[in-house]
Amino acid sequence: MKKAWLIMIAGLIATGCSSSSQPECIYNCTPTYPNNGNNNHGGGINTGNMTNEQAIKALMAYLATQAKKQWGDDEFLQAGKHRYVKYFDGYRTRAHIDFDSGKIYVSTVAQYAPEATLKKAIEETLLMPADPSQVDLFSDKSIPLNGKPFLLGQVKDHDNQDIQWPWRAGRFADYLIENKLRTKPLKRGTAYYVEIDMVSDHLEQREYQYADLIKRASRQYGISEDLIYAVVKTESSFNPFAVSHAGAYGLMQVIPKTAGADVFKLVKNKPGIPTKDYLFDPANNIDTGTAYLHILQTRYLRDVRNPTTKHYSMISAYNSGTGGVLSTFDSDRQRAMDKLNQLQPNQAYWALTNKHPKLEARRYLEKVLNFQKEFQSL
């Protein structure tokens, strides 16, 4: 195997590398930044004068530009609500976790020493900390390996053991490269990658990590635990690194300028809006998301008389806002509330899942309620 790699690397160097006599950086290179700004997240992009939505779009756009230079448009991947994607090494290497399918892919298009590059990326992925603030999704910065690994219990090595320490992660990486390495031809060369299966109950393993936080928020705001669990599963599949183009962050996909601002003003008595780093913290995120459900229940939708109808309405409003819920019934808010109160819960449910102005919101209510039933049966 080693001999084959030496032959492969020699061929790659001859055909694919730069004409420079200096080999390209293998790993832990100086991070690639667009400018010399002082922002610690997103490669130094100056987002100080942008709204949150503008800032997240700018960060994602910059990352996309850099990654596409290495991977091309067809193979580009970006982090999302149910998908973790982290680039390294001048954007030539990436880790991709699909939380819905329970698969981890670590890949590189590096032309110099891809084996060593892959090993380092596998180790960083397996040992990345549970604290999302330590992981910059918007640049190619390395991940500091400290604290309890986020994937602990969600992945087993080839000896069916948990992976908590660097020596075990390195050993497993060697095994994967020796036995599971795959290649894929790309328009710009060859990608080298390994695929790692997560354990069958990986979702439950992530749920356990946040059980205490959910219980605390439930007691504080009077929102049932099963509803909080259902919202988190719908929004992120318990992915604390979740981001969206709308500028939502974390487990419950809180948008700072809407739900976040309301919670700061109406519950926390704080000025301004929560920051990205604040919302990437799982404790803050679950607290803020649950507090917003409390606001919907006790303030914005307090005039909904039937408790079941109110429950349906607040779930729908978490996704699309109170205005979206009321516009399902009438363009005038007061008339809409009156019409809503005249309906039976099953009629309100039908309207919200068939007549809501946004298709996503129609499906959202159905998903959350189905997940809520699952958590109620546990």
Amino acid 133: pLDDT: 86
Q: Shortest CA distance to 124 belongs to which of 160, 175, 166?
A: 166
CATH topology of domain 203-376: Lysozyme (1.10.530)
| Catalytic residue check, 366 | no
Residue 240 in 3-state DSSP? coil
315 Cα distance to chain centroid: 21
Amino acid 262: pLDDT: 97
- Specify which residues 96 forms β-bridges with: 85, 105
Percent of the chain with pLDDT over 70: 86
- Which of 204, 235, 366, 374 is labelled catalytic? 235
Distance from C-alpha of 41 to C-alpha of 52, rounded to nearest angstrom: 13
Residue 70 DSSP code? H
Count CB neighbours of 44 within 10 A: 18
Q: Against a cut of 0.75, is the pTM above it?
A: yes
Instruction: Give tens-digit pLDDT for 58-82.
Output: 889 999 999 999 999 999 999 999 9
Amino acid 46: pLDDT: 57
- Specify which residues 98 forms β-bridges with: 83, 103
Amino acid 47: pLDDT: 57
Distance from C-alpha of 283 to C-alpha of 186, rounded to nearest angstrom: 41
Q: What is the mean pLDDT of the segment spanning 150-166?
A: 97
Instruction: Give tens-digit pLDDT for 11-59.
Output: 333 333 333 334 455 444 554 444 433 343 455 555 556 766 787 888 8
Q: 264 falls in which pLDDT band (50, 70, 90)?
A: very high
- Going by C-beta distance under 8 Å and a sequence separation of 6 or more, which residues neighbour residue 20? none
Within the chain, which residue ranges are assigned CATH 1.10.530.10? 203-376
Residue 238 in contact with residue 251, Cβ under 8 Å?
Answer: yes
Provide the total of helices (H) and of strands (E) in the chain, helices listed first.
Answer: 14, 5
144-148, 215-219, 346-350: segment of lowest average pLDDT: 144-148
Q: Which residue has the higher pLDDT, 352 or 19?
A: 352
Amino acid 146: pLDDT: 86
Instruction: Give tens-digit pLDDT for 75-115.
Output: 999 999 999 999 999 999 999 999 999 999 999 999 889 99
